[in-house]
Amino acid sequence: MKTSILPVKLKKELIEKIDYLIKIGRYPNRSIAIREILEEKLAKEDYILKNSLTIEEEIKPILQEIIKIKDFKINLKSEKSATELVSEGREK
């Protein structure tokens, strides 16, 4: 497994929790503790990650074809103005 260094800033409370887990023997050091905690969390998010990447890969060729079309226009029909729609998007 190839690894890379990733400088990360953590809250003092998180570092204290990680250090406590090391102290009680759950992990041998901070690096391994953080790596395993991240891997566990990402494993839980795996379904979302896989689906998002699959959808992105399926859409990418379609978008590339759309970009090639000259004078391509999208008409959105809404009772709201463009300003209202953009404003709503910013609130999310």
Per the domain annotation, does 1 fall within a domain? no
Task: Give the span between the Cα atoms of 18 and 30, in whole angstroms.
Answer: 7
12-16, 48-52, 77-81, 86-90, range with greatest mean pLDDT: 12-16
Per the domain annotation, does 7 fall within a domain? no
Per the domain annotation, does 28 fall within a domain? yes
Q: 46 lies in which domain range? A: 12-68
Per the domain annotation, does 83 fall within a domain? no
pTM of the full predicted structure? 0.52
Residue 33: partners with Cβ closer than 8 Å, 6 or more residues away:
18, 21, 22, 26, 27
Quote the number of domains for the chain. Answer: 1
- Residue whose pair of structure tokens reads 């970009």 in the numeric block: 67
- Residue whose pair of structure tokens reads 């890379």 in the numeric block: 4
Per the domain annotation, does 87 fall within a domain? no
What does the pLDDT look like over 74-92, one tens digit per residue?
Answer: 777 788 887 887 887 666 5
